[in-house]
């Protein structure tokens, strides 16, 4: 009965509005067009705009306000011009402004949307499926990222590549000049129309503006709202495009948790390589990769019964990452590359080599191919990981996506172990109308694991994103024997604290969210009032209720960038297995109904001092939970950020189940000596993990995309306080060589 009810709801949502969705789109490329001419003389990227080409180039101006209100002229205007030569795509922007700017940092790819900035969105294939974002701050701090068509895709600025920029600041404006090498872009040779948009972040006014008229309810990087960039002559395929990135590293490590601790010294080396097989298809290679320079994860207090997900940060996995990562629905991902080369404690498993082929193979087709081999150790076999995926663009903005994965044990000297494997395959259809307001999808995934057999993961849903009204409903069904050896699927593994064992159990999941946003007109203190209600239902495989969570949320967005929020959450949990939250006996299987209240506040982010606070209180299973969070950040513009955040969870259960106080303190210091030299120290004190971590990293970018890192890390017990665990100091040098 439940399945039939779900089918009826989804059918109505998916098809009842189909005709309306089909006609709702407006193609911005009919209204916004920019011509592009070839530069005939030498181009010097200095922000001065003295070259002849800038005087004659077409202009993109008359920007529209996108936030906090759309449909109005931008408060401060921007004038953009473009040109090209044999090697580079050039962009200039005159950003009219005061002579004071909000710049949070000099560090590349950091806090880009939290200060003043200019950026462009580039869609070389002009299919609204994937593209690039490049941006700079008034202090010439660069940020770049890849844009995907995933309905859940967010920018994290993890992708890095080589390009050039310069900024000059004047009393009434700041001027940007950018040069993006064709070798950095992935495009189809011979295509003479690209999708493009430009945007400004003016945090002093708390305003976002864009060249095309974008609705307030869409992200500024949305590919559905690009204008048309017309080339006077379609760009040719760039010449040989090979980048070699060798590295050397060394470390001194001491582990005091073993019986006879001793200093261990290690030196290592390897390389990455990027080979453009075509102008739109890239091959990434890695041999003996080392990721010691990657920033540490921000720790979290976990009061759930399941594992937390942390983002992928390793550079090798990032280019065209959506081809591998955007299957399933968060947090259930059949492919999650962070599971490759890291164990269950996030400790590295040595990778011998890897190769990734990704990009466009036609006007409407993209492909991803990955193969990676790990090294065997005394307690772990070697494994080979392979992924094949594809994206096929259909209609205006829709995708058909599929993948096949294989994890195979490998015994040195013997070859592949046919009795130890995990294989997955999936097919998805993701529809999006031209305006982006309607986004339904449907998917089927299959797993086959040695000794277990086959099982499925089903997924369907729809999202509506209107200017005021938004709606989201999603269904996930996962079989008990569904395994994703290269994925992240929470809830399948349930820990039974009474028997000290893990029990796998599939589930059926339905989540829905309804939101309405009021956007006051004028210049009052509020720019938006957001009301949201949501429900999440988790059912057992036989469709009996396992868990329900219902929420009612309100948030107010202030014109000064501040925010206030209030939530009520009601739970109905039917524990099937004993669960422990304190040092006392575990809670027995039973039905637990409880309610919690949450209130939060964030102050004006433009001030030198910014505050954040949150309080949560109410019931927790058969006891009570009180949670307090407070944070403060001081910004010494633009060279320093100093922050500290404190979180405490005070859990009180009735006798004999005990109490628990969990404290988490984060302190981060970022000092930017210049745009090339950065020092970051991150302290994390976590009583839940019984760990106090010190991580200090010095980065010197001595040439574009070439770095020297010096990293110091130290771990202590939080109880007994400062009893030493381990310590390491690591250096890493890499050099980006373009052949």
211 in any annotated domain:
yes
User: What per-residue confidence (pLDDT) applies to 20?
Assistant: 38
What average pLDDT score do residues 709-735 get? 95
CA dihedral 98, 100, 103, 108 (to 10 degrees): 70
Q: Is the pLDDT of residue 21 over 70?
A: no
- Taking residue 456's Cβ as centre, other Cβ atoms within 10 Å add up to 15
Residues 388-403 pLDDT 10s: 999 999 988 899 999 9
Q: Is the pLDDT of residue 549 over 90?
A: yes
Nearest to 124 by CA among 277, 278, 241: 278
Separation CA 359–CA 326 (nearest Å)? 15
Residues 702-718 pLDDT 10s: 998 899 999 999 999 99
Separation CA 208–CA 191 (nearest Å)? 31
Separation CA 595–CA 320 (nearest Å)? 42
Contact between 416 and 454 (Cβ < 8 Å): no
* 3-state SS class at 269: strand
Query: Which percentage of the chain shows pLDDT scores above 70?
Result: 96
Q: List, in sequence order, every residue forming a beta bridge with 403; answer none if it has no partner.
A: 389, 426
What average pLDDT score do residues 618-639 get? 95
For residues 419 and 590, the model is more confident at: 590
Nearest to 72 by CA among 81, 86, 62: 62
Residues 453-471 pLDDT 10s: 999 999 999 999 999 999 9
285 in any annotated domain:
no
Structure tokens at 655: 């006798």
CA dihedral sign of residues 183, 187, 189, 192: negative
Separation CA 106–CA 296 (nearest Å)? 20
User: What per-residue confidence (pLDDT) applies to 11?
Assistant: 42
CATH number of the domain within which 199 lies:
2.60.40.1190
Average pLDDT, the chain: 90
CA dihedral sign of residues 502, 503, 507, 513: negative
How many angstroms separate the most distant Cα atoms in the chain?
82
Reading phi first (left if > 0) and then psi (alpha if -120 to 50, else beta), residue 304 is in beta
- Taking residue 38's Cβ as centre, other Cβ atoms within 10 Å add up to 12
User: What per-residue confidence (pLDDT) applies to 78?
Assistant: 97
Q: How confident is the model at residue 129 (pLDDT cuts 50, 70, 90)?
A: confident
Separation CA 516–CA 514 (nearest Å)? 7
Q: How confident is the model at residue 277 (pLDDT cuts 50, 70, 90)?
A: confident
147 in any annotated domain:
yes
42 in any annotated domain:
yes
- The H or E element containing residue 235 is none
Contact between 276 and 284 (Cβ < 8 Å): no
Contact between 163 and 143 (Cβ < 8 Å): no
Q: Is the pLDDT of residue 22 over 80?
A: no
Structure tokens at 648: 């405490």
Structure tokens at 273: 């390589």
Separation CA 692–CA 339 (nearest Å)? 25
Separation CA 585–CA 654 (nearest Å)? 11
Q: Is the pLDDT of residue 236 over 80?
A: no
For residues 322 and 265, the model is more confident at: 265
Residues 135-182 pLDDT 10s: 999 999 999 988 876 645 567 787 788 899 999 999 999 999 999 999
Separation CA 118–CA 444 (nearest Å)? 41
Contact between 420 and 409 (Cβ < 8 Å): yes
User: What is the number of domains present in the chain?
Assistant: 1
Separation CA 260–CA 263 (nearest Å)? 10
Q: Is the pLDDT of residue 306 over 50?
A: yes
Q: Is the pLDDT of residue 664 over 50?
A: yes
Q: Is the pLDDT of residue 234 over 90?
A: no
User: What per-residue confidence (pLDDT) applies to 318?
Assistant: 82
User: What per-residue confidence (pLDDT) applies to 1?
Assistant: 43
Contact between 569 and 549 (Cβ < 8 Å): yes
- Taking residue 542's Cβ as centre, other Cβ atoms within 10 Å add up to 6
User: What per-residue confidence (pLDDT) applies to 344?
Assistant: 73
Nearest to 139 by CA among 114, 164, 176: 176
User: What per-residue confidence (pLDDT) applies to 387?
Assistant: 97
Contact between 72 and 65 (Cβ < 8 Å): yes
Nearest to 456 by CA among 466, 467, 447, 469: 447
* 3-state SS class at 337: helix
User: What per-residue confidence (pLDDT) applies to 634?
Assistant: 96
Q: Is the pLDDT of residue 333 over 80?
A: yes
Residue 198 to residues 145, 185, 290, Cα–Cα distance (Å): 15, 17, 36
What average pLDDT score do residues 668-674 get? 95
Look up residue 488 and give its DSSP letter: B
User: What per-residue confidence (pLDDT) applies to 4?
Assistant: 42
User: What per-residue confidence (pLDDT) applies to 2?
Assistant: 44
In sequence order, what E strands does 279-431 have? 281-287, 351-360, 365-374, 382-394, 398-411, 415-430
Phi, psi of 310 (to 5 degrees): -120, 150
- Taking residue 99's Cβ as centre, other Cβ atoms within 10 Å add up to 11
CA dihedral sign of residues 416, 417, 422, 428: positive
Separation CA 368–CA 643 (nearest Å)? 40
Separation CA 330–CA 332 (nearest Å)? 5
616 in any annotated domain:
no
First to last CA, the chain: 63
Q: Which domain holds residue 192?
A: 32-231
385 in any annotated domain:
no
Q: Is the pLDDT of residue 58 over 60?
A: yes
Reading phi first (left if > 0) and then psi (alpha if -120 to 50, else beta), residue 290 is in beta
Tally the C-alpha atoms within 13 A of residue 632's C-alpha that lie toward its C-beta: 3
User: What per-residue confidence (pLDDT) applies to 150?
Assistant: 62
Contact between 195 and 229 (Cβ < 8 Å): yes
What average pLDDT score do residues 547-574 get? 97
User: What per-residue confidence (pLDDT) applies to 26?
Assistant: 53
159 in any annotated domain:
yes
Look up residue 21 and give its DSSP letter: H
92 in any annotated domain:
yes
For residues 159 and 20, the model is more confident at: 159
Record the pTM: 0.87
Nearest to 69 by CA among 219, 208, 210, 198: 208
- Taking residue 88's Cβ as centre, other Cβ atoms within 10 Å add up to 20
Reading phi first (left if > 0) and then psi (alpha if -120 to 50, else beta), residue 49 is in left
Contact between 736 and 704 (Cβ < 8 Å): yes
Q: Is the pLDDT of residue 729 over 50?
A: yes
Nearest to 217 by CA among 489, 657, 516: 516
Burial letters 116-127, b for 16+ CB under 10 A, else e:
bbbbbbbbbbbb
């Amino acid at each position: 009965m439940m399945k039939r009810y779900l089918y009826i709801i989804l059918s109505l949502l998916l098809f009842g509005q189909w005709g309306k969705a089909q006609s709702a789109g407006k193609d911005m490329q009919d209204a916004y067009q920019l011509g592009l001419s070839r530069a005939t003389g030498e181009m010097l990227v200095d922000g001065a705009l003295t070259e002849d080409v800038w005087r004659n180039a077409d202009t993109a101006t008359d920007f529209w306000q996108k936030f906090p209100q759309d449909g109005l002229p931008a408060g401060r205007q921007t004038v953009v011009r473009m040109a090209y030569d044999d090697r580079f795509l050039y962009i200039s922007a005159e950003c009219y402004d005061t002579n004071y700017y909000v710049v949070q940092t000099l560090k590349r790819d950091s806090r880009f949307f939290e200060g003043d900035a200019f950026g462009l969105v580039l869609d070389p294939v002009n299919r609204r499926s994937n593209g690039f974002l490049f941006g700079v701050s008034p202090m010439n701090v660069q940020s770049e990222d890849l844009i995907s068509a995933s309905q859940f895709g967010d920018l994290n600025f993890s992708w890095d590549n080589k390009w050039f920029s310069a900024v000059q600041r004047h009393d009434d404006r700041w001027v940007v000049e950018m040069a993006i090498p064709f070798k950095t872009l992935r495009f189809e040779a011979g295509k003479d129309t690209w999708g493009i948009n430009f945007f400004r972040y003016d945090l002093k006014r708390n305003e976002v503006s864009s060249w095309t008229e974008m609705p307030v309810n869409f992200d500024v990087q949305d590919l559905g709202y690009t204008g048309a960039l017309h080339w006077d002559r379609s760009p040719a395929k760039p010449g040989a495009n090979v980048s070699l990135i060798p590295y050397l590293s060394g470390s001194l490590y001491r582990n005091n948790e073993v019986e006879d601790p001793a200093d261990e010294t290690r030196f290592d080396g390897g390389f990455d390589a990027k080979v453009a097989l075509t102008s739109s298809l890239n091959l990434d290679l890695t041999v003996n990769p080392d990721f010691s320079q990657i920033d540490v994860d921000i720790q979290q207090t976990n009061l759930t019964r399941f594992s937390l997900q942390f983002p992928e940060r390793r550079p090798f996995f990032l280019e065209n990452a959506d081809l591998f990562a955007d299957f399933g629905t968060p947090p259930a991902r059949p492919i999650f590359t962070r599971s490759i080369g890291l164990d269950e404690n996030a400790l590295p498993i040595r990778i011998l080599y890897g190769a990734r082929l990704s990009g466009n193979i036609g006007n409407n087709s993209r492909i991803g191919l990955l193969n990676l081999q790990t090294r065997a150790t005394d307690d772990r076999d070697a494994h080979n990981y392979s992924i094949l995926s594809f994206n096929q663009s259909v209609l205006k903005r829709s995708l058909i996506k599929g993948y096949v994965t294989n994890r195979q044990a490998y015994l040195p000297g013997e070859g592949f172990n046919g009795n130890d494997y995990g294989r997955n395959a999936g097919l998805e259809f993701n529809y999006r109308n031209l305006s982006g307001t309607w986004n339904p999808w449907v998917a089927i995934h299959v797993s086959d694991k040695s000794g277990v057999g086959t099982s499925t993961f089903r997924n369907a849903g729809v999202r509506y994103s209107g200017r005021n009204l938004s709606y989201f409903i999603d269904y996930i069904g996962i079989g008990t024997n569904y395994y994703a050896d290269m994925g992240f699927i929470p809830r399948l593994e349930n820990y039974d604290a009474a028997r000290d064992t893990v029990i796998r159990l599939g589930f059926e999941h339905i989540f829905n969210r309804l939101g309405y946003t009021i956007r006051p007109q004028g210049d009052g203190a509020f720019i938006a009032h957001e009301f949201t209600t949501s429900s999440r239902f988790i059912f057992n495989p036989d469709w009996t209720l396992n868990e329900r969570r219902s929420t009612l949320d309100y948030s107010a967005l202030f014109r000064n960038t501040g925010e206030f929020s209030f939530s009520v959450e009601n739970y109905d949990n039917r524990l099937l297995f004993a669960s422990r939250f304190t040092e006392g006996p575990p809670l027995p299987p039973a039905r637990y109904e409880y309610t919690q209240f949450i209130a939060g506040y964030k102050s004006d982010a433009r001030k030198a001092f910014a505050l954040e606070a949150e309080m949560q209180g109410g019931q927790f299973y058969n006891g009570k939970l009180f949670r307090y969070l407070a944070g403060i950040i001081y910004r010494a513009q633009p060279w320093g950020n100093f922050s500290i955040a404190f979180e405490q969870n005070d859990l009180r259960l009735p006798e004999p189940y005990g109490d628990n106080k969990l404290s988490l303190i984060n302190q981060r210091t970022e000092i930017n000596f210049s745009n090339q030299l950065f020092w970051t120290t991150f302290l994390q004190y976590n009583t839940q993990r019984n760990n106090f971590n010190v991580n200090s990293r010095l980065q010197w970018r001595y040439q574009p995309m070439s770095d020297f890192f010096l990293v110091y890390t130290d771990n202590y017990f939080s109880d007994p306080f400062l009893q030493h665990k381990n310590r390491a100091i690591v250096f890493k040098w890499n050099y980006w060589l373009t052949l």
